[in-house]
Structure 1
Amino acid sequence: MASPKMSPIPRSSIAQRILDGETLIVYDGQLLKIPQSWVDAHPGGSLALLHFVGRDASDEIQAYHSEHALKLIKRYSVGAVETDEHGSWEALVPPIMTGWVRKPASNGTKEWYNESSTFAPLEGTTDILLVKRDDLGVEKGPTLSNLTPSPTSLSLKAQADHSAAYKLLHKRIVDAGLYKTPYLTGYGPEVLRYTMLAGLSAYAYYRNWLMTSAALLGFTWHQLVFTVHDLGHMGVTHDWTFDRLIAILIADWIGGLSVGWWVHNHNVHHLVTNHPSHDPDIQHIPFFAISPSFFFNLWSSYYKRIMPFDAFSQFLISLQHRIFYVVLALARFNLYRNSYVFLVQSAFDKKRARGGRWTWWLEVAGIAFFWCWFGSVLYGCGSWKKAFMYLLVSHIAASPVHVQIVLSHFSMSTADLGPVESFPHRQLRTTTDVICPPSLAFVHGGLHLQVTHHLFPRLPRHNLRKASMLVKEFAQEQGLVYAEFGFAEGNSEVVGVLRGVAEQVGIVGRVAGAEVKEVIERWESQWEQVSDKKTG
């Protein structure tokens, strides 16, 4: 750790070091230099770090790490940073936000690679969206202009005040003992519920009540998902190894889904919530688009591909408010696809995140075990038609969790307010609660309190209700909106957003011809300018 007597490191120097390829993140007034080995092995995935290069990640780091981990983080400090009159760091734009990443070169070193181009849908906004790479005039690496944020309408002092108040709120949460897991009163009833549903499903199958058995199995999966979610956030035993072992047993061996994929995906969602180019949880082209931004063939920094707004996508999105529940009813099949693609890709990853090979092999063994036992269940139905119906009913019965997830975000803002936006401001702006009585909280897995969960992701979900009272006080004191809807109202809001975007698809179709002509003319003009420069 750097000596506190050293002079603060100038912002200009930090910017240049980022351009030179260093992974630098500000934490608690200190500059952290993250070695490439840890970027590759970070348990939350490399994107969780890359999205905060040049930014103050103090609140996010506090929210996502235990006290033990926070002590280890300080060893990466290389000195203090310059701050403004409010004691705040003047944020830079992370290179990944403008399409720049570092990839291995032929000689084994890392070099800058421009994987996408930037696009601002509206002039005068801070939105930075990513689109297909434009090879015209591509530099060998990012420049200072790439790291410089656009002017913002946000008050930097207000954002600093939100951050300071959040730190005090976090201390109140800790002092109230809300990080202590209520094993007996919290997970005791959960285990009994899981056992009862699984037992009833097995009994119904034994009596040849196949559709009843399928529905009960689906309900079991639906409930187990919430505990896997807790374990993925280290919110049960608070020990990475124990939580991951239990999560693999439930998710992979019982549910056939990769918890490794889910954690990798979900961490990014939490950190760049509702960003069209970066949050995988809202990137559902061709089925859904919750913002017209998706009409521009956006690049996904998570999936590393273009999300094409082609004729097929336009057709489905024009109907998205009508097929919403049908698609979500079958969403578990897409989870299988994402899980297995992730595991296949991870097999060739020489620098896996924490856990190494044993977690990968345990997951693969778990997936194989799942299809053995579930395949036997389907085979025992007696005919392919009964097996197909059992498969369908069980998966539809497990689908309410997908509705729960989208209710929390689909109707909220997808704007990018820039790197100066504070952690609490961003989470309250992009997340909403679903109001329900305590007696029905188990149906939502306790995660109807998504605002509080996004602010304190490691908090045991059985303590979220108590914590939400403190968060509401915080929001009121800071002049922030704590959004919450009833279940029916929340569904109406989401369907309304989908309908609004669907209606705009028709407008796009009517003006497409004129826009295509304009784009072609602009492209030809740019090409002529480049050609003139080359010949000159």
Structure 2
Amino acid sequence: MDEWSRERIAARILAGDTLIIYHGHLLSIPQKWLEAHPGGELALLHFVGRDASAEIEANHLDHTLNLIPKYSIGRVQLTDGIWEPFLPPIATGWVRRIGPAGNRVWFKEATEALSNQDSHFCPSSSVLLVPNDPRAIQPSGPTLASLIPPPSTLSLKQQARHEQAWRELHKRVTAAGLYNTRYITGYGPELVRYTLLALLSIYFYSRSWFITSAVFLGLFWHQLVFSAHDLGHMGVTHNWTADRIIATIIADFIGGLSIGWWVQNHNVHHLVTNHPSHDPDIEHIPFFAITPAFLDSLWSSYYKRTMAFDWFSRIALSVQHKLFYIIMAFARFNLYVNSYTFLYQKSFDTKRARGGNWAWRLEIIGLLFFWTWFGRVLYGCGSWQMALAYLLVSHAVTSPLHIQIVLSHYSMPTGDLGPVESFPHRQMRTTTDVICDPSIEFIHGGLHLQVTHHLFPRLPRHNLRRASVLVKEFAEEQGLTYAEFGFVDGNREVLNTLKNVADQIKIMGKVAKDEAKEALDKKMAAKDAKNGFANGNGAYHPNSNGVLKKLT
């Protein structure tokens, strides 16, 4: 089998090939599969020139892994059995687009900038993206220098040992049968709970107790989405088609949300967790910013837009810790926007990229069905005031779910330690558990155990607690931190994080105000001095601040 040198691989990447390393093999991903990848093309682009072995194993079923070798075009040259990673082009703002001649060419969608935040949350080695300067001449394509990552404080050998230890842990988890779905003991009680909540909502609606009905509908949505989450990770039937159909029924037909959008969004979140320029789950400008890095108006490689720190953002973010729960009460409406934007954009994709077209069509049918039945529910409230109240209450009741998810990431580091960082190291560094008594785990859907979930995304959530015991042993053996805190403490940590950024904005405003005042004073003093000399009204001298003062 052909052996590829680093120089040769770099040249092919610069020429536009999508090359990923998997267990020493060089995988060449064709454009058609890049577009059709069920997890979205960004999930692949973030690993160009990198060893994605752990990420691939964590997110794919065994029969899918068996198909991967067919994309191998040879072996790669390793150093002590380890691949020294390149920095993917997308990390420095480079993407491939259709050019004027109809062929794919490099396009610089954003400019890279080393972080100026040398801290635990955003180390100076982080590569952030900012909008292109429209006055600057854009290069024609990435260079070899752009593929070289910034210096890292991490040891490549140590990270390789972490990854090998994770692989052994993965074998233990599999051998323990923790990938087996608990249909009766796991989903059985949940099905009863779903049915009860739905029936209670229908019953109170029939009695014209509309607000009570709205509360139970919200609780029904809140609980049901946990199963949609499992299905999106292929963690129920372990068959992509079956899980996607069931997930579409739950998310689209019953919940009015796009499961296709959620899967692609969530996959990127799992792969580049807490990266300000790449993780959509922390990109909530203008309402939330969990790191001062967002105050630089970063570019989002997921949303393909500038997250502008404008006048509205300045006002909203300065009080974000005070508005946190109010905004989270309306978080579901943001999911609608993201869902429908995604489906609209997908309407222009190829049929294969939409899952053979049927998955996209099924989602559209599902959303039409949802707004038909839910619209009828709102109409039946009798007045627009009651319909509005029903709408807001049913959606606000789901807010604890959104709060729970952000607790596991908002207070954790947002810095990127570069492509040297191993899969387990990054997941444990950027994720935390919410401690919960087993008797009330159902409220959190089992997803309060986010550390274990991020290490094993396809693991059925009913088995996360058993797996977390093994993960804690792994963390202790590898010298890694297994972060966890209670629900109340978690909320306090998130609010503190939001307040710290808000305080930064206030300091920025005060400094800007002082600088503007000083500049105005100098300007006025200079003007007075000029007028004074011109009129012969005396002499002036500068004070300690450089401002001219009249001598009397």
TM-score (norm 2): 0.91
Counterpart amino acid of residue 115 in structure 2: P
8 Å CA contact 2:351, 2:357 repeated in 1: no
- Structure 2 residue 69 is the aligned partner of structure 1 residue 74: yes
Q: Which residue of 1 aligns with 2:230?
A: 230
Counterparts of residues 110-509 of structure 1 (less than 5 Å): 110-122=104-116, 125-135=124-134, 136-350=136-350, 352-353=352-353, 355-509=355-509
SS in 1 for 2:419: coil
Matched position secondary structure for 1:183: coil
Give 1:352 shift. 4.9
Alignment match, 1:533: none
Change (3 A) 1:271 1:351: farther
Contact 1:28 1:58 in 2 (8 A): yes
Residue 267 of structure 1 aligns to which amino acid in structure 2?
N
Residue in 2 that maps onto 1:45: 40
1:89 aligns with 2:83: yes
Paired letter, 1:254: I
C-alpha distance in structure 1 between counterparts of 2:352 and 2:94, whole Å: 22
Question: How far is the alpha carbon of 1:23 from its aligned partner?
Answer: 0.3
Tell me, in whole angstroms, the C-alpha distance in 1 between the residues paired with 2:513 and 2:164: 51
Q: Deviations over 1:445-492 (max 9, x none)?
A: 110000000010000000000010001100000000000010001000
1:10 alignment counterpart: 5
Q: 1:359-396, CA deviations, whole angstroms, 9 ceiling, x for partnerless residues? A: 11111111111111111111111111111111111011
- The answer (yes or no) to whether the contact 2:354–2:360 under 8 Å persists in 1 is no
Give CA-to-partner distance per residue, 1:110-169, whole Å, 9 cap, x none: 100000001123278221000011352421000011100111111111101101101100
Structure 1 or 2, whichever has the larger Rg, is: 2
Contact 1:42 1:354 in 2 (8 A): no
In 1: Cα distance, 2:46 partner to 2:297 partner: 21
Q: Which aligned pairs between 1:97-116 and structure 2 lie closer than 5 A? A: 97-116=91-110
Pairing partner for 1:65 from 41, 60, 64: 60
User: Quick one: distance in 2 between partners of 1:466 and 1:367?
Assistant: 37
The runs of 5 or more residues in structure 1 that have no matched partner are 517-536
Work out whether residues 31 and 79 of structure 1, in 8 Å CA contact, stay in contact via their aligned partners in 2. yes
**Is the 1:221–1:255 contact (alpha carbons within 8 Å) kept by the matching residues of 2?**
yes
Give the Cα–Cα distance (whole angstroms) in 2 for the partners of residues 205 and 163 of structure 1: 53
Letter in 2 for 1:326: I
Any gaps of 5 or more consecutive residues in structure 2?
517-552
Question: How far does residue 515 in structure 1 lie from its aligned partner after superposition?
Answer: 9.4
User: 2: CA distance between counterparts of 1:234 and 1:441?
Assistant: 21
CA drift at 1:354: 5.5
Confirm or deny that 1:20 pairs with 2:15: yes
TM-score w.r.t. length of structure 1: 0.94
Runs of 4+ in 1 over 6 A off after TM superposition: 513-516
Provide the rounded CA distance (Å) in 2 between the counterparts of 1:465 and 1:111. Answer: 48
Give 1:514 shift: 9.1
Deviations 1:2-43 (A, max 9, x none): x3xx4x311111111100111000001111011111101001
Q: Distance in 2 between matches of 1:326 and 1:143?
A: 46
Q: What residue number does 2:539 align with?
A: none
What amino acid sits opposite 1:126 in the alignment? Answer: S
Q: Which amino acid aligns with 1:107?
A: A
Compared CA separation, residues 354 and 27, structure 1 to 2 (3 A)? farther
The letter for the 2-side match of 1:502 is A
Write the distance in 2 (CA, Å) between the matches of 1:232 and 1:484: 25
Offset of residue 88 of structure 1? 0.8
Superposed CA deviations along residues 375-429 of structure 1, whole A, max 9, x for unmatched, are: 1111111111111111111011111110011001000000010000000000000
Q: For 1:51 and 1:194, how far apart are their aligned partners in 2?
A: 38
Q: In the alignment, what sits opposite 2:543?
A: none
Aligned mates of 1:512, 1:88 — CA distance in 2: 49
SS at match of 2:101: coil
Amino acid at match of 2:131: K
When structure 1 is superposed on structure 2, of 129-138 and 501-510 the one drifting more is 129-138
Output the CA distance in 2 between the equivalents of 1:510 and 1:98.
Answer: 33
Question: Post-superposition shift, 1:511?
Answer: 3.3
For 2:7 and 2:385, how far apart are their aligned partners in 1? 67
Paired residue secondary structure (2:67):
helix
> Root-mean-square deviation (CA), in Å?
1.3
User: Whole-Å Cα distance in 2 between the matches of residues 157 and 351 of structure 1?
Assistant: 43
Aligned length: 510
Asked whether the 8 Å contact 2:257–2:335 carries over to 1, the reply is yes
